[in-house]
Amino acid sequence: MSDCLFCKIAAGEIPAEKVYEDDDVIAFNDINPQAPTHVLIIPKSHIATTNDIAPEDEKVVGKLLTTAAKIAKDRGIDASGYRSVMNCNADAGQMVFHVHLHMLGGRKMSWPPG
Ligand code: AMP
Ligand code: ZN
């Protein structure tokens, strides 16, 4: 997707504070962090929303969560806890239409979310 911000970050065309990368996913710091740790983990392939996840994408989407756990362990917040969020469409406040997992941690969070 030539006009997708996160495709451009995945391709290295737009800079980001990368914290992890492999063949399938890339993780980078959110530009407007909502917690001491706020990392976005994205598939390198373009998927617009969670409604568009196809059966062949299930493996890479699962990898978003295992990557979040890896980053949490690296930062020593795996035991204290963290939150994983994927916003879908307007009511959830999705702003970037390339699937991404928000991994937030390093502070106590409330529930329900706003
Ligand atoms: P969402 O509302 O779930 O679509 O979240 C999009 C997230 O992307 C927001 O938390 C933004 O702060 C973040 N964001 C937008 N542009 C950038 C960027 N260039 N680099 C890093 N994070 C970004
Ligand atoms: Zn994209």
Q: Which amino acid is at 60?
A: V
50: exposed, middle or buried (Cβ count in 10 Å: 0-12, 13-18, 19+): middle
DSSP state of 109: -
pLDDT in tens, 11-39: 999 999 999 999 999 999 999 999 999 99
Q: Per-domain residue ranges for the chain? A: 5-105
Is residue 86 lining ligand 1, measured as CB closer than 6 Å? no
pTM of the model: 0.98
C-beta of 49 in contact with ligand 1 (< 6 A): no
Would you please indicate which residues are annotated as catalytic (active-site) residues? Answer: 100
What is the homologous superfamily of the domain 5-105 according to CATH?
Answer: HIT-like (3.30.428.10)
